[in-house]
A = this chain, B = another copy of it.
Amino acid sequence: MKLYEKYPVSLTNSLSGKKEVFEPLNAPFVGVYSCGPTVYSEVHLGNLRTFTAFDVVYRYLSFIDYKVRYVRNITDAGHLTNDAGQGVDRIEESAKLESLEPMEVVQKYTNSFHEVCELFNILPPSIEPTATGHIVEQIEMVNTILANGFAYVANGSVYFDVRKFMEKHTYGELSGRNIDELLEGTRDLERQDEKRNSVDFAIWKAVSPNHIQRWNSPWGLGIPGWHLECSVMSAKYLGRQFDIHGGGMDLKFPHHECEIAQSVGAYGKAPVRYWMHTNMLTVNGEKMSKSKGNSFLPKELFSGTHPLLDKSYSPMAVRFFMLQSHYSSTLDFSNEALSAAEKGYKKLSSSLTFIKSLNHPGTSTPDPSIHQTLEGLVESCYQNMSDDFNTATTLAVLFEMSSRINDFKSGNVPLSHVDPTVFDTFKNTYVGFMENVLGLKQESGVDDHLLEGTIKVLIELRKKARTDRNFALSDKIRDDLKAIGVQLKDGKDGEISYSIE
């Protein structure tokens, strides 16, 4: 029996607004798409929350035996400041400001995004496709939509014809908007004449020859409309209908609504079975924004250089902090909350270090009540994560497990009272949920851990040498360590501790 059969996943589908049982189209295969960054500046903390949330979705689905293809795109062309396809091209604008070729801007911020992901232990997706890598496919999709009568050409641009589309299909279902509201909300004063309706959006946008990023198309020189790339790339790599599409809730409208319309307009069926949206990030209770000066970058958190921060917080402390809330709740940054998260992370991490080095002696005089507790905690881990990927309640279970691990450490609960297989399941679950599911790796971990272990080997040798009255050896160990900056200290009880100079 596969783990996903034992612990069936339910998730809140933004389409219905309800929690639904997750039924993939072709289990064990699962296709997940999430909207990646537009690489014209440093990635924001809000984006990072979204990427972390879907990283955990990818990790957990894989952990419970699904074979997941996870696609997260890089937008490297076509993203204008106005979502409906007007305004300034973000990448061209950064290129001008920084005196770079647009693709140099793309490279610079793609590299920076990957660095942050690595710090944050966000796994690389199975495929990380780019808008510029799918120009042919985007032109073809525009052609298909035109052929189906849901778009029109105006001055070299192609617009999606929302009213025409609504004659046959619905529009606005995901975001719950109606067309009148949309007409009200998206009215724009500049150059609206080209569009038949203000709700229409560009799927191909004409550009002038001095626009550096540009491609030849049947409609002249242009760039793809921003919404189009996600429709094209998800269909190419996951199929015209696939399982899960995720993104920040600010993308629900118009971006995801447009994706649905484009795919339905081209292929006649809804592209996505389950839509998932992450909630907003606030700072001290206020919405994050550049103008308020409360918008900080991940690197500023890690270095503690932003005026709003009392100190620096490590990537894993911030990751832990984000996972303490359910992805669909708002999440408020404050120094107090971050400090508390840091403590929490350290507690769980220390239990992780301990249990990884703990092996069952192999014999036992089982105590059924302990078994019940340990097995219950294991069950709870799966049940909480399978319940809409609830990282918050899962962390609560891990804290409970950490207390049980401390019982082993202190000797309150002797390992000999635990059946070896129960212990192994408990241990593997704790380690697996910490490291593989939640991605909370040991920080500064590996080497410190090794150093500690190596010094302990020497301390044990020294103890033995003293017992053997081999003082030449025991002195040599002390002196050699001192020479490299490790100071041993002999306790009264024969125990030896150390400090690093």
Binds B, one of A44-52, A319-327, A388-396, A480-488: A480-488
Give every chain B residue within 8 A of A132 (Cβ-Cβ): 133
**Does any Cβ of B come within 8 Å of A450's Cβ?**
yes
Q: Pick the contact of A458: B136, B140, B458 (CB < 8 A).
A: B458
B457 and A481 contacting across the interface, CB-CB below 8 Å: yes
Interface 0/1 of A124-151, CB less than 8 Å to B: 1111111011011001100000000000
**Does any Cβ of B come within 8 Å of A447's Cβ?**
yes
Residues in A456-477 with C-beta less than 8 Å from chain B: 457-458, 460-461, 473, 476-477
Roughly how many angstroms separate A486 CA and B489 CA in the complex, as a whole number? Answer: 25
A477 and B450 contacting across the interface, CB-CB below 8 Å: no
Q: How many residues of A contact B (CB 8 A)?
A: 45
A124 and B103 contacting across the interface, CB-CB below 8 Å: no
- Decide: A237 near B451, CB < 8 A? Known: A107-B128, A136-B215, A457-B458: no
- Residue of B with least CB distance to A452: B484
Interface 0/1 of A5-32, CB less than 8 Å to B: 0000000000000000000000000000
Roughly how many angstroms separate A486 CA and B101 CA in the complex, as a whole number? Answer: 47
A302 → chain B closest CB, angstroms? 15
**Does any Cβ of B come within 8 Å of A216's Cβ?**
yes
**Does any Cβ of B come within 8 Å of A69's Cβ?**
yes
* 24 residue pairs A–B, Cβ–Cβ below 8 Å: A101-B237, A103-B127, A103-B129, A104-B126, A104-B127, A107-B124, A107-B126, A107-B127, A114-B114, A130-B130, A130-B133, A132-B133, A136-B139, A450-B484, A450-B486, A453-B485, A453-B486, A454-B455, A454-B481, A454-B486, A457-B480, A458-B458, A460-B480, A461-B477
